[in-house]
Amino acid sequence: MRSEPRVLQFNDCAFVARNMVRAAARAGIEWSYLPPEQVRPMTAAPRNPLLARARFVPFVARRALRLRAADVVHVHYGTSARLLRERGMPRRPYALTLHGTDIRKQWADPQFHGEIQQAIDGAAHVFFANNDTAENARRARPDAEFLPALVDAAALPAWHPGGRPSILFVSRWDDDKGVERQLELARKLSAAVGNRADILGLNWGPGAEAARQNGVTLLERMPQDDFHRIMAQAHMTIGQATNNFATSEFEALCMGAPLAALGSRLPRPDDGTTPPVMEGTDEDVVEQVVAALDDPVAATNRLGGREWALPRYDAAAFIPRLTALYAGIAAGRG
């Protein structure tokens, strides 16, 4: 007789579900995983309407097969829940994580509101992953609970700055990441740093070319493990210019890299703490980053980012809590 329910992690955002599955496996718990590219087609539809419909057949069959093999489903992102209700899908109880745009923007948009609210109402348990979405999530579901964007700290390389000093912007260049403020920071950093360090960022987002013009050396998009290696070698990392961080910033903190970001962060909904990073105005951040280049190890030791982040964002710390939740849902106690 099985002691644990069979769990399917369905869809993913920023590899959070994959991180949960890997951390669970190291604890001896096997969860199934269906990543986005196996949930639905990721390419543009053919012009032929018959071919356009036919391309969904293997995805529908795969979803049905994986649902039959599960007792509980953890759905990642609000619009993915409707795929569990399609014709021919075995009905399974599910937990839902609202990962950001679904509850931040789509829930408030009349075009999507009904779909997102139906997904929330049908869930046995609802999580929200971002500090800034707590109000919306709890209006939509009063018992919604905070579950942060978890990282797989055991798979991250240890921070080991080496070679020519570098400052790495870890986010893509778009509005959700505060791109206009990031571009101004890049310009000021480039002027202040001169030839002392390379300023790096991904060639990703509508502001990427402007970042290049403001002194950032753009790196082509790459596998996540490769990006982690570059992050681990950077002398300084720069987070998004918003009041909320995402997975890349928490990965930098968990590996031990010193992190800077414009402005200030919202406190966590659970313990009221904020990430220990270099922050403030453009001038504040530039001054702190330039000073830290002389001794980045001392800077990260002073900040204590890794010690703060690991118990709050490492997926391994959350496996017992999730295991108990899934067992309760399977037993009808969700």
pLDDT at 301: 97
Let me know if 216 is exposed, middle or buried by CB neighbors in 10 A (0-12, 13-18, 19+): buried
Q: Comparing 93 with 38, which gets the higher pLDDT?
A: 93
Tell me the domains of the chain and their CATH numbers. Answer: 7-47+55-150+315-330 (3.40.50.2000), 154-313 (3.40.50.2000)
Taking Cα atoms as reference points, which of 15, 12, 83 lies closest to residue 223? 15
Report residue 49's pLDDT band, with 50, 70 and 90 as the boundaries.
Answer: confident
Using one digit for the tens of pLDDT, what is the confidence trace for 212-225?
Answer: 999 999 999 999 99
Sheet strand arrangement including 166-169: 217-219, 198-202, 166-169, 236-238, 259-262, 278-280
pLDDT per residue over 26-48, tens digit each?
Answer: 999 999 999 999 998 777 777 77
- Rounded Cα gap, residues 145 and 180, in angstroms: 32
Bigger pLDDT: 51 vs 191: 191
pLDDT of residue 317: 96
Residue 61 has a CB neighbour count (10 Å cut-off) of: 11
Which residues in the chain belong to E strands, given as ranges? 7-10, 32-34, 72-76, 94-98, 125-128, 145-146, 166-169, 198-202, 217-219, 236-238, 259-262, 278-280
In the prediction, which pLDDT does 52 show?
Answer: 65
Give exposure, 252-282, as e/b (b: 16+ Cβ within 10 Å): bbbbbbbbbbbbebeeebeeeeebbbbbbee
pTM: 0.92
What pLDDT was estimated at residue 48? 76
Rounded to the nearest 10 degrees, the angle between the axes of helix 296-303 and helix 282-292 is: 120
Backbone angles phi, psi at 229, to 5 degrees: -65, -40
| Residues paired with residue 182 on neighbouring β-strands, in sequence order | none
Is residue 128 pLDDT above 70, yes or no? yes
Concatenated DSSP letters of 69-96: T-SEEEEESGGGGGGGGSTTPPP--EEE
What gap in Å lies between CA 187 and CA 177, rounded to an integer? 17
Instruction: Grade residue 318 by pLDDT with cuts at 50, 70 and 90.
Output: very high
Residue 1 pLDDT grade (very low, low, confident, very high; cuts 50, 70, 90) = very low
Instruction: Give yes or no for a contact between 159 and 232, defined as CB atoms under 8 angstroms apart.
Output: yes
**pLDDT of amino acid 334:** 61
Span 137-157, mean pLDDT?
A: 97
For the chain, what is the radius of gyration of the CA atoms?
A: 21
Q: Does residue 140 surpass a pLDDT of 70?
A: yes
Read off the tokens for 301. 């030791």
Going by C-beta distance under 8 Å and a sequence separation of 6 or more, which residues neighbour residue 174? 205, 206, 207
pLDDT at 133 over 50: yes
Query: Quick check: 2 pLDDT over 70?
Result: no
Neighbours of 47 (CB within 10 A): 7
Residue 325 identity (one-letter amino acid): L
Count the helix, strand and coil residues of the chain and give each as a percent rounded to the nearest 5: 50, 15, 35
The alpha-helical segments, DSSP class H, found in 77-150 are 101-104, 110-122, 134-140
| pLDDT tens-digit readout, 238-289 | 999 999 999 999 999 999 999 999 999 999 999 999 999 999 999 999 999 9
* pLDDT mean over 59-81: 96
Quickly state the pLDDT bin for 57 (edges 50, 70, 90): confident
